[in-house]
Structure 1
């Protein structure tokens, strides 16, 4: 998604609104649990404030991800809003507690890196297909959401194994 400096300088007190579909290449190779995602529907509103441009963006898409517990694929709708401040004058490029103003170094201005960053922050860090996902059996590997296995998966802390043996011996005597 690109916008020209000439167009940005022409807006004056108005707001420039752009609506586009954006495709981000290669994100699936960077994010392990991301399988694919639909093209992003992006809306950007750019307004001028002195020598700074305030970019307010919104993106929407649907991503297919892999559940971290059971390894099944599922779709998750993604929506986020983001903002950036840009300037073409080095004297106005600054970083304060409230905001960071990025210096525009090329014309046209490519908004794709900002869209990409917003998309990465929107993806679930540890995707789970549902709140009560039972995951995979650590012994036989079946998806416990689909099949009930009879594996004994109870783990005993090795530091307490002697205590477990003591309980087993005394329980057998009773």
Structure 2
């Protein structure tokens, strides 16, 4: 997904990218991601004054382990993509509003690292199978979504354990 900036800026051209990318190598250090489909990228690059604007949508379907009960849950991610690229050779002074501009060296650059970065930043931090997930029992490990396990839920602060029988009648 190489973009030649001067070609797009000078001629006012638009270039479309419709591709799918294998994201398995990016997810090898994420044990909570059980399976993923290829990342579908539908992007459009167009030359504008001073740079190239790339907009579009990334989509992928992931099977993730729930962070509370470890049950597999499927989630479809629709990731908006919008980045503005400017050549480092331009002598423009950066305005305060240009914090969102990506400065690239040379006339052409590869869009792939920016797409991968957008995908990784959009991954859920703590995926859930549902908002009402009860998780696992901390004592026996039973899935509490399937029913109660019979374990005691009383939590006692270990620092106060010596005082728990202090007021009991003999």
TM-score (ref. length: structure 1): 0.81
For structure 1, the 5+ residue unaligned runs are: none
Q: Is the 8 A contact 2:5 2:47 kept in 1?
A: no
How far apart in 1 are the matches of 2:71 and 2:110?
Answer: 36
Q: Is the 8 A contact 1:70 1:135 kept in 2?
A: yes
Between Structure 1 and Structure 2, how many residues are aligned? 168
Residue 46 of structure 1 is matched in structure 2 by 45
Deviations 1:69-128 (A, max 9, x none): 101111101011122222344235868444222214475x32111111111122110111
For structure 2, the 5+ residue unaligned runs are: none
Distance 1:95 1:19, change over 3 A: farther
Deviations 1:3-47 (A, max 9, x none): 342794377324322221222241221223112211111111111
What does 1:117-156 align with in structure 2 at a 5 Å threshold? 117-156=117-156
How far apart in 1 are the matches of 2:105 and 2:80?
Answer: 21
> What is the root-mean-square deviation of aligned Cα atoms in Å?
2.6
How far apart in 2 are the matches of 1:92 and 1:157?
Answer: 64
Q: Is the 8 A contact 1:138 1:153 kept in 2?
A: no
TM-score (ref. length: structure 2): 0.83
